[in-house]
Amino acid sequence: MNKAAVSLTTGLEDPERVTVAFLVAVAAAEAGRPTMMFLTKEAARLAVEGVAVAVACDGCPPLTTLMGRYAAAGGQMIVCGVCVDAKKLDPETFIPNATKGGTVQLWEWIGDGATTFSY
């Protein structure tokens, strides 16, 4: 099955965009697709344990629920290393399925190709 890569640049300043990105990622991972999220800019903060706690709208699933489903389905995250350093984030505080990395690691994971989404 084809891989899915979701690039997210937005953090909790736009919880609806974050929710949509996670809905897409969860659907791919739960369908059995190897799925990677690449978190950059403010989205890098979402990898820190306890940060992603928003509910975007009435009827929207809580971000904690989506992140839990994503992890349970095997979804992984690469958190932009430049962003981690610039924002002085500690990778030791990241959720278990998130690792500090960069575009080299993303391209290595993509390999021969993936369906991509960008938010």
What domain count does the chain have?
1
CATH of the domain at 53: 3.40.1260.10
Q: pLDDT class for 1, splitting at 50, 70, 90?
A: confident
Is the sign of the CA dihedral 5, 9, 12, 17 positive or negative?
negative
Q: 78: which 2 tokens?
A: 């690469």
Q: Domain containing 54: what range?
A: 3-118
Q: What is the pTM of this model?
A: 0.95
pLDDT digits (tens, 9 = 90+) for 7-61: 999 999 999 999 999 999 999 999 999 999 999 999 999 999 999 998 998 999 9
